Amino acid sequence: FEALNLSFKNMCKLKPLLQKWLEDADNSLNNPNSLTNPLTTPEAIGRRRKKRTSIETSVRVALEKAFVQNPKPTSEEITLLADSLAMEKEVVRVWFCNR
């Protein structure tokens, strides 16, 4: 796309989409309230990222011990470990994936 290697047919297909985008961009410049339009917020787009979780040293030590014992725990084992450490299951799962 950036190299402008589109066929004429593909350009014709993109034209209405790009025109709509340009119109919306022009309208948002003319209307300052539209800059905070809920349809353009990260929540509406669905791509909002969760903030990075900081893990306390004692919890990290417990996770590392569990990893040494079983580097590939099942979903049930992750749930039990998360409950015992008072953590979210997803945080524990991601920790094991990143390990």
**What's the confidence (pLDDT) of residue 77?**
97
Nearest by Cα to 27 from 76, 99, 19: 19
Quick one: how far is CA 84 from the chain centroid? 27
For CATH 1.10.10.60, list the domain ranges present in the chain: 57-98
pLDDT digit string, tens, across residues 3-56: 668 888 888 988 999 999 999 888 887 776 655 555 555 555 567 788 888 999
**What's the confidence (pLDDT) of residue 65?**
97
> Is 57-98 CATH 1.10.10.60?
yes
36: its two tokens: 């905070």
77: its two tokens: 């084992």
Overall pTM surpassing 0.85 (yes/no): no
